[in-house]
Structure 1
């Protein structure tokens, strides 16, 4: 009887041990593999990453004001390169650039390209590093005829609003002798119209505008400057090319 009970207990112990091993294996959880998260796609806002505004020209140079409006990945970091082309077709295809100049480290400023041909048209675009800006193609802008540049005119937009702006034009004597009398001319390419002008004498003929000096600000020593201001109404402004001379 005792021997039989021992056999039964031994058999029961082995059976329970087998169940324990079976349960342990059933309860073990499989190793979970990490699922990679998708990389988010950054969408750039519908805005130009850089803007350019023609400022002035001499017989052999063109000056453009730039503003880097956005940073990478949607925009650029300085320095910015201004690249000139002899035709819109070349500018569109980024072919046969004729001249270029590099900005400083500022995100806003002016770039002057020199060594140009007098009385010639150019189109300009921007690049930064290895990237060509695909949006801005401005022009034509024209250098002055040879021997005609005795002064330089640049425009500063003091205030902008929907439907117009206020601006100041600076006239600087670039000659080596005193300048006795000056005039600034340009042609509107949009729907602009001047509602007020001060410190100058205004003449308008269709889209062509001429501002001559007033009686008190026509004499400028070498390197000297003066200003006139204007209030302009427009819903569709175009590029503005200022020419300055006697």
Structure 2
């Protein structure tokens, strides 16, 4: 009787020990997976990804100088397209484009858009691939009017004083061909005389004055321009000069 009870007790002890081992294993939990640490967020510099400026015009074309300042993800890769619109409203809304030109692989350069209407205003924007640049809306830029004159000259009085003034004359090629040499003529209305002149060569005959280009500024591309300046002595306050520009 005692032997039987001992066997039963031993068996029960082994069973409990086995159950306790099983319970201990069930309570063990797998180690949690490590949470990946997020990488730093790339911040784009505070700069426009592309810039453009009007360079020159003819009666039927406009040339824009562009520069792609940033690469993706903050900017664009070439080629880039300059797109012209007939109004600022259309340009802002990216609707009704009237003409465009596509660059080569260069990140900066000049783009000429042709097939335009003489003496008309345009606004320009940029796109690259399927992306419309959201920042640059520039204009208006204007094509030249149809004119028989090869060039146009305008005068600006920079400063006046008793006995004279300083003036700047702007010369612009209004033809569709490169201008190799120009001259500006006018007639004095009183006792004016040139005391100093730069960026040009002056000659006079009585009250008539002719200023020709210097050796370094006589070649003007269509729509291109240059300036010359002068100091003028006079005993009276005079009005503006009537200038004629030609080859």
TM-score for the superposition, normalised by structure 2: 0.60
Distance (Å, rounded) in 2 between the aligned partners of 1:22 and 1:88: 78
The equivalent of 1:126 in structure 2 is 126
Number of corresponding residues: 184
Asked whether the 8 Å contact 2:59–2:176 carries over to 1, the reply is: no
Distance (Å, rounded) in 2 between the aligned partners of 1:88 and 1:19: 83
Is 1:181–2:193 an aligned residue pair?
A: no
The equivalent of 1:159 in structure 2 is none
Distance (Å, rounded) in 2 between the aligned partners of 1:5 and 1:75: 87
Change (3 A) 1:37 1:132: same
Gaps of 5+ in 1: 152-170, 184-196, 202-210, 231-243
Q: CA RMSD in A?
A: 3.8
Distance (Å, rounded) in 2 between the aligned partners of 1:85 and 1:60: 14
The equivalent of 2:16 in structure 1 is 15
The equivalent of 1:94 in structure 2 is 94
Deviations 1:91-129 (A, max 9, x none): 112122111111111111111001111121111111111
Deviations 1:31-65 (A, max 9, x none): 74676776875443322111001111111111111
Gaps of 5+ in 2: 152-172, 185-196, 202-210, 229-244
Asked whether the 8 Å contact 2:199–2:217 carries over to 1, the reply is: no
Distance (Å, rounded) in 2 between the aligned partners of 1:146 and 1:182: 20
Describe how 1:99-178 pairs up with structure 2 within 5 A. 99-147=99-147, 175=177
Q: Give SS of 1:52's match.
A: strand
Q: Give SS of 1:126's match.
A: strand
Change (3 A) 1:141 1:228: closer
Measure how far apart 1:11 and its partner are. 2.1
Describe how 1:1-246 pairs up with structure 2 within 5 A. 1-26=2-27, 28-30=28-30, 32=32, 42-147=42-147, 175=177, 179-181=180-182, 199-200=199-200, 213-214=213-214, 216-217=215-216, 246=247
Change (3 A) 1:15 1:33: same
Change (3 A) 1:148 1:32: farther
Change (3 A) 1:150 1:111: farther
Higher Cα radius of gyration: 2
Change (3 A) 1:149 1:229: closer
Q: Give SS of 2:110's match.
A: strand
Distance (Å, rounded) in 1 between the aligned partners of 2:59 and 2:106: 27
